[in-house]
Amino acid sequence: MREVTFLEAIRLAMWEEMERDPNVFIIGEDIGRMGGAFGVTTGFLERFGPDRVIDAPISETAIIAVAVGAAAAGKRGIAEMQFIDFISYGFDQVVNVAGTWLYRSGGKTPIPIVVRGPSGGYVGGSLYHSQQFEAWFFHTPGVKVVQPAFPDDAYGLMKAAIRDNNPVVFYEHKYLYRRIKGPIPDASEDYIVRLGEARIRRYGSDITVVTYGAMVHFALEAAQRLEKEGISLEVIDLRTIKPLDMETILESVRKTSKVLIVYEAPKTGGVGAEISARITEQAFEWLDAPIMRVAAKDAFVPFAEPLEKFVLPSVDDIVFAARELAAY
Amino acid sequence: MGSTRTRRKNGQQTAIAYHERLEKSDLLEIYRRLWFARIFDEALYDAKKKGRLRRGNVYGSRGQEAIQVGTTYPLRPDDFVSPIHRDMPVFVFRGMTPEQVMCQIWGKANAPTRGKDSWSHMGDMSLGIVHSTSMLGSTIAVACGVLWAQRLDGRRDRVLVAYTGEGATATGPFHEGLNFAAVHKLPLIVVVENNQYAYSTPVELEVPTETVADRAKGYGIPGYCIDGNDVLEVYDTTCAALEHARAGNGPVLIECVTYRLQGHADHDETRARQYRPVEEIEMWEKRDPLPRYRQYLLKTGLFSEDELPEPPPDIVARIQKAIEYAINSPDPEPHTALEDIYDESAGVSR
Amino acid sequence: MAVAVIMPELGESIVEGTIVRWLKQEGDSVQEDEPIVEIMTDKVNTELPAPASGVLQKILAPANTTVKVGQELALIATASESAAATAEPSAAPASVSTPPPVEAVGFYGGGEEPVPVATPPPAPATPTRSDGQTRTATGQPFISPVVSKIAREHGISHEELLTIPGTGVGGRVTRKDIEAYIAQRKVVPKPAPAPAPAPAPQPVAAPAPQPVTPREGEEIIPLVGMRKAIAEHLTKSYQTAVHVTTVIQVDVSKLVEFRERNKESFQQQYGVRLTYTPFFVKACADALLEFPMMNATLQDDQIIVRHYVHMGVAVALGEQGEEGLIVPVIRDAHKKSLIDIARELEDIAKRARNKSISVAEVQGATFTLTNPGSYGALIGTPIINHPQTAILGTYAIVKQPIVVNDMIAIRPMMNLCLSYDHRLIDGMYAGRFLQRIKRAIESFEFFK
């Protein structure tokens, strides 16, 4: 076992996959000479050379397209978005080119790419360095969406995402990069975490909390506080957003009959809305209260601290919502 | 009014007349391919008019056959092409069967996209035909990725010919792709089919420079502006570009000046004679590449009139046979609409 | 008007504190900034000052309670009617919502200071949810889908549902309420079905039953009534306590001999059939007084230790034991004599088998005794009767050769198997408890 930060876990996963499979390469801005804006690819250029570690021009479309085109021709491309917010530049490549290629090739041409980058707020990143619009890709067919919360999952899921034959958009919450440390297996164990499997991070009996990313940590903190009030939260870390693990969610709903979905993205049309709809469809008779959501306000993430705090969900928000739900 | 001026590279003729190395059989094959492209177009328009093809648009390429033939004839079997909607015959020239193409157009279960898409959004990586989307310009960026894979495989001499219209040179992905290819000296040949109109928009509303080839200066790459209706000039220019690219000197832009004799698609026939002056259309009809090439062949003295039928009947029959085959092929089962969305063969996902 | 004393955030990441003591009492007058309460946190002990002058009207958080940052600790009745600010110094100054137009007054004009415009206070950070109606338009209480489902599955009519006490918002019946009701309802005697073992906790909710079509050679029996109750009770027991079973062998020769010699006179003198059970009840009860943790129960994070013994004695129902199990209770077994125990045992066992036993008689046991030896079992691993901490099984008496004073002797031997909850009990404690019982049985001092 190795004790590493969230960021280091991602770095090691990519490194080990590039060692393991010469077809894997990575392209992004400032990833070679500089080792990436956050240092995720430190040392990669020296080890793997400029053909496999490409310092791209400022062209998110080209960055993703190179990964896509190479994947069509048998490679496995990792396209880094310096901030995942910039994926909007290359949206067409993800959604219309990569997402449909298998579909319009009679299943013959899979596109194994990982489009990854730092996401999320709480760091004063403001409008274009704090986004969490995973709902865009949750909604589009042909693309998988992953958002781990712990180093071991980040590590295992990155490896699986690289090995998966489909386009995967991989959200790495920047707030967790250096704040969270945890054990990950040794390289020799060839550890992967399968996509589409949620993990219960805390067992409980009163309320099912469904969440992902940095919000998992917020939910766990809320759970600790609420324990003292006799409210027991079961916290489900989705890990993968698409494919969605409804089985784990439903099993928990049958246990508690009360659901709180927590997601950092704007509330309207977010992933939590879909989860709520599915729970109602599939477990209506198990509900003892309306399904509640804690999410960001329907706004962009602003710069000033009081503004950012107002928009984004807090541990208090989760605590208040859980209290209400418990009392319902 | 579209540009009718043509200029050679740097104001000079292309140094080598590559076509002089062609044998009689090559010349005849070029002739037959031109006719294949022409009949393909006519047969589909006819099928649509007669209701034999009921669904989907036909994007005619009448008048642009010289580009399709001239840019593909000099390619090696292991080169790549990235055709778009006005390059359907290119699919056949690079190895797909006419039956496959017709099944695609008829949206049949045995089509390359199994009915998921019609027209040109198909491909076959094993034949080096790269699939495209409707997002014009994106093919140029994707081409960089295909070529990068070749670089990783140590195959820097495999060329990719990517087709685009003059309008698509206005898009971001065109720029980002060509910029990247030029920076990294990828063997990418961008064939700009300047047929003067992007739907109803004339070229001067798409391109601010005198020629589309002028854009090449911005990337530091050679830009040719040639007569796209002269199949041998297209052939020669392509050969020059291939040499340049295979030698590792980076991308080349070839602007083939031509004209879209029909509407943007079969639904556009009437309007296309309204947003364009009829005299303009008639002028370009006189520059039809097929009779032009036939004249040239006769002038060489290598061929008799009989050897150059208009059209070659066997090609007509072949295309009809392909259409019959498609019409009689099965429609896809409804549930297959949900297939081919994800490839789970890696076994690492639910 | 009352001013609240609020628990402040005494340091980054401090979320709560404990009241050590109040420096002022209710009714005392206080001055603004005067220390009124001492708080202890992870990082520091601190005295909090009064946010306003007045009278300490009410202490909301007494000493030794844990309070959260932002919680109200007390109320101070201020002298004047003028509104005072809350105890916390306001963190952010009121901000300007839009900049007011600047007058062009040239170099010498008095430029007005921008007037701070208070922004409206933010809405409380509670998620909006559907209007919390827990009564329908007709005034009937709201019944949630899961409560409706559970009621349906357990044959609880709407009328009965309305009688269940509800702890939810507006007094509605929650899932927990109906589950508790069902658990307790099983104990109420009905003409036909037998009561469940006491005290039955909430059963684990099962997913909706799927109808099963029997294949050839199969028959389907629904899991209902006592069987279902037993299933749920034992599942809960087994999943809650950490079960360990330990075995001791007891030489019951004196016990056997006594019974053989005295069973007839016992019957005549006391009208009671003498079995071995009363002896074990007595020996156990005495041992439990010496080893009270065996007699305890764990509730949340508190161990309730009892210094009295209500002995539950398991009774099998039905000819072949096919009608389930019931555990009537001998209350205050530690105070009763052997004879009393014997009498009571015979009585309740008879009434249990007759199904004429009352609810009270199957409730409140602090320890359970079971006798698998009665059907020949040699050794076993009984399951604890939740929420007790241990259960003792007495097993078949078998004559065996054993070593006594370095010589072989034939003695009737019996295994005692004690299953205990390792969360509370460790091996040695259990072993010594068993040894205490063994000594009592072997020395046979019941009539001293």
DSSP string, B192-230: EEE-SEETTEEGGGT--SSSGGGGGGGGTS-EEEEETT-
Chains C and A in direct contact, meaning 3 or more beta-carbon pairs closer than 8 angstroms: yes
User: Does the pLDDT of residue B124 top 90, yes or no?
Assistant: yes
Contacts of C354 (CB under 8 A, 6+ apart): none
Residues in B touching A22 (Cβ below 8 Å): 152
pLDDT of residue A69: 98
Among the partner residues A288, A306, A310, nearest to C144 by beta-carbon distance: A288
Count CB-CB contacts under 10 A for residue C305.
Answer: 14
Domain ranges of chain A: 2-189, 199-327
Choose between C203 and A289: higher pLDDT: A289
Contacts of C210 (CB under 8 A, 6+ apart): none
pLDDT in tens, B213-230: 999 999 999 999 999 999
pLDDT of residue B64: 97
Chains A and B in direct contact, meaning 3 or more beta-carbon pairs closer than 8 angstroms: yes
SS (H, E, C) B123-174: CEHHHCECCCCCCCCHHHHHHHHHHHHHHHCCCCCCCEEEEEECHHHHCHHH
Subunit contact B113:A57, Cβ cutoff 8 A:
no
Residues C247 and C349 in one domain: yes
Q: Would you call A9 helix, strand, or coil by DSSP?
A: helix
Distances (CA, A) of C326 to B312, C317, C318, C357, C394: 99, 7, 11, 10, 17
Q: Would you call A54 helix, strand, or coil by DSSP?
A: strand
Residues C409 and C270 in one domain: yes
pLDDT of residue C231: 87
Do residues B139 and A122 lie in contact, with contact meaning Cβ atoms separated by under 8 Å? no
- Lowest-confidence range among A69-78, A163-172, C181-190, C428-437? C181-190
Subunit contact C168:A328, Cβ cutoff 8 A:
yes
CATH number of B26-328: 3.40.50.970
Same fold: A2-189 with A199-327:
yes
* Partner A, chain B 102-131, Cβ-Cβ below 8 Å: 111-114, 116-117, 121-125, 130-131
| Banded pLDDT at C444 (limits 50, 70, 90) | confident
Task: State whether the Cα torsion C165-C171-C173-C177 is positive or negative.
Answer: negative
- What phi and psi, each to the nearest 5 degrees, are found at residue A117? 180, 170
User: Does the pLDDT of residue C307 top 50, yes or no?
Assistant: yes
* Partner A, chain B 310-339, Cβ-Cβ below 8 Å: 339
DSSP state of C197: P
Burial of residue B198 (CB within 10 Å: 0-12, 13-18, 19+) is buried
Subunit contact B350:A194, Cβ cutoff 8 A:
yes
Residues C276 and C345 in one domain: yes
pLDDT of residue C136: 60
Structural domains of chain C, count: 3
Residues C247 and C179 in one domain: no
User: Does the pLDDT of residue B14 top 70, yes or no?
Assistant: no
Distances (CA, A) of C80 to C1, C50, C59, C84, C236: 8, 16, 20, 9, 59
User: Does the pLDDT of residue C90 top 60, yes or no?
Assistant: no
Among the partner residues A288, A290, A324, nearest to C146 by beta-carbon distance: A288
pLDDT in tens, A186-230: 999 999 999 999 999 999 999 999 999 999 999 999 999 999 999
Q: What is the value of ipTM here, to two decimals?
A: 0.85
Q: Two tokens at B7? A: 């200029």
Residue of C364, C357, C423 whose CA lies nearest to C390: C423
Subunit contact B176:A77, Cβ cutoff 8 A:
no
Q: Chain B within 8 Å of A190 (Cβ-Cβ)? A: no
Residue of C282, C327, C328 whose CA lies nearest to C309: C282
- CA distance, residue B124 to nearest chain A CA (Å): 7
Q: Would you call B181 helix, strand, or coil by DSSP?
A: helix
The continuous run of DSSP H or E covering B310 comes out as none
Q: Two tokens at C149? A: 């489902």
Alpha helices in A40-173 (DSSP H): 44-48, 60-72, 91-92, 99-101, 134-139, 151-163
Residues in B touching A50 (Cβ below 8 Å): none
Integer Cα distance of B165 and B173 in angstroms: 13
Compute the average pLDDT of residues A172-177: 96
Angle of CA points A211, A212, A213, to nearest 5°:
145
Helix B65-72 crosses helix B231-246 at what angle (to 10 degrees)?
A: 40
Residue of chain B with shortest Cα separation from A112: B343
Do residues A200 and A175 lie in contact, with contact meaning Cβ atoms separated by under 8 Å? no
Residue of A78, A207, A90 whose CA lies nearest to A146: A78
Provide the number of CB pairs (under 8 Å) joining chain A to chain B.
175
In DSSP terms, A184 is beta-bridged to: A2
Residues in C touching A288 (Cβ below 8 Å): 144-147, 174-175
Residues C161 and C292 in one domain: no
Compute the average pLDDT of residues C353-380: 86
Chains C and B in direct contact, meaning 3 or more beta-carbon pairs closer than 8 angstroms: no
Whether a cis peptide bond, with omega within 30° of 0, leads into C193 is no
Residue type, C30: V
Q: Two tokens at C142? A: 């709201």
Alpha carbons within 13 A on the beta-carbon side of C399: 5
- Strand stretches in chain B, DSSP E: 80-82, 160-165, 188-194, 197-198, 201-202, 223-227, 252-257
Domain ranges of chain B: 26-328
Question: Active-site residue among C28, C33, C42, C426?
Answer: C426
Residues in A touching C130 (Cβ below 8 Å): 290
pLDDT of residue C209: 54
Integer Cα distance of C203 and C181 in angstroms: 11
Q: Two tokens at A51? A: 């053909």
pLDDT of residue B169: 95
pLDDT of residue B17: 83
pLDDT over 90, % of chain A: 96
Q: Chain A within 8 Å of B143 (Cβ-Cβ)? A: yes
pLDDT over 90, % of chain C: 36
Integer Cα distance of B82 and B90 in angstroms: 9
Neighbouring chains of B at 3+ CB pairs under 8 Å are A
Count CB-CB contacts under 10 A for residue A179.
Answer: 15
Residues in C touching A310 (Cβ below 8 Å): 122
Among the partner residues B116, B142, B147, nearest to A97 by beta-carbon distance: B142
pLDDT in tens, A222-281: 999 999 999 999 999 999 999 999 999 999 999 999 999 999 999 999 999 999 999 999
Q: Two tokens at A47? A: 């080890």
pLDDT of residue A258: 97
Tokens 């091996």 correspond to C427
Integer Cα distance of B228 and B147 in angstroms: 26
Subunit contact A109:B123, Cβ cutoff 8 A:
yes
Furthest C-alpha separation in chain A: 60
Integer Cα distance of C416 and C287 in angstroms: 14
Integer Cα distance of C93 and C142 in angstroms: 45
Among the partner residues B180, B340, B341, nearest to A62 by beta-carbon distance: B180
User: Does the pLDDT of residue C170 top 50, yes or no?
Assistant: yes
The continuous run of DSSP H or E covering A18 comes out as helix A6-20
Residues in B touching A107 (Cβ below 8 Å): 114, 339-340, 343
In DSSP terms, A53 is beta-bridged to: A26
Q: Two tokens at B78? A: 């292991």
Neighbouring chains of A at 3+ CB pairs under 8 Å are B, C
Integer Cα distance of A263 and A244 in angstroms: 14
Q: Which of B203-212, C198-207, C313-322 has the highest mean pLDDT?
A: B203-212
pLDDT of residue B11: 46
Contacts of C310 (CB under 8 A, 6+ apart): C329, C330, C331, C332, C333, C364, C365, C366, C367
- What phi and psi, each to the nearest 5 degrees, are found at residue A55? -80, 100
Which CATH number covers residue C64? 2.40.50.100
pLDDT of residue B6: 44
pLDDT over 70, % of chain B: 96
In DSSP terms, A114 is beta-bridged to: A78, A168
Subunit contact C127:A317, Cβ cutoff 8 A:
yes
Q: Two tokens at A278? A: 């599915």
pLDDT of residue C269: 85
- CA distance, residue B76 to nearest chain A CA (Å): 17
Residues in B touching A166 (Cβ below 8 Å): 342-343, 349
Question: What domain range is C194 assigned to?
Answer: 145-210+222-228
| Banded pLDDT at C360 (limits 50, 70, 90) | confident
The answer to whether position C111 is within a domain reads no
User: Does the pLDDT of residue B166 top 70, yes or no?
Assistant: yes
Subunit contact C66:A228, Cβ cutoff 8 A:
yes
- State the best of A105, A139, A158, A241 to mutate against chain B, taking most chain B CBs within 10 Å: A105
- CA distance, residue A222 to nearest chain B CA (Å): 30
Alpha helices in chain A (DSSP H): 6-20, 44-48, 60-72, 91-92, 99-101, 134-139, 151-163, 174-177, 214-227, 246-256, 271-283, 305-311, 315-327
- CA distance, residue A68 to nearest chain B CA (Å): 6
Residues in C touching A290 (Cβ below 8 Å): 129-130
The answer to whether position C121 is within a domain reads no
* pTM of the predicted structure, to 2 decimals: 0.65
User: Does the pLDDT of residue C87 top 60, yes or no?
Assistant: no
Residue of B90, B112, B111, B2 whose CA lies nearest to B41: B90
pLDDT in tens, B293-308: 999 999 999 999 999 9
The answer to whether position C113 is within a domain reads no
Do residues B117 and B341 lie in contact, with contact meaning Cβ atoms separated by under 8 Å? no
What fold does the segment set A2-189 form as a domain? Rossmann fold (3.40.50)
Contacts of C415 (CB under 8 A, 6+ apart): C247, C248, C249, C250, C378, C379, C395, C396
pLDDT in tens, C110-165: 334 434 444 444 444 444 444 444 566 666 678 999 999 999 999 998 888 888 98
pLDDT of residue C363: 81
Q: Two tokens at C67? A: 């309070």
The answer to whether position C275 is within a domain reads yes
Helix, strand, coil content of chain A in percent (nearest 5): 45, 20, 35
Choose between C11 and C258: higher pLDDT: C258
Q: Chain B within 8 Å of A180 (Cβ-Cβ)? A: no
Whether C233 is catalytic: no
Residue of B267, B309, B340 whose CA lies nearest to B58: B267
Alpha carbons within 13 A on the beta-carbon side of C144: 29
Q: Two tokens at B152? A: 């990783």
Residues C413 and C362 in one domain: yes
Do residues B212 and B255 lie in contact, with contact meaning Cβ atoms separated by under 8 Å? yes
pLDDT in tens, B224-264: 999 999 999 999 999 999 999 999 999 999 999 999 999 89
* Average pLDDT in chain B: 93
User: Does the pLDDT of residue B5 top 50, yes or no?
Assistant: no
Residues in C touching A255 (Cβ below 8 Å): 205
Integer Cα distance of A248 and C90 in angstroms: 44
Among the partner residues C16, C126, C175, nearest to A257 by beta-carbon distance: C175
The answer to whether position C310 is within a domain reads yes
CATH 3.40.50.920 fits A199-327, yes or no: yes
Integer Cα distance of C288 and C366 in angstroms: 10
Integer Cα distance of B159 and B82 in angstroms: 11
Helix, strand, coil content of chain B in percent (nearest 5): 45, 10, 45
Q: Would you call A5 helix, strand, or coil by DSSP?
A: strand
Parallel, antiparallel or unpaired: strands A144-146 and C407-421: unpaired
Distances (CA, A) of B294 to B28, B232, B289, B310: 10, 12, 9, 9
Integer Cα distance of A116 and A78 in angstroms: 7
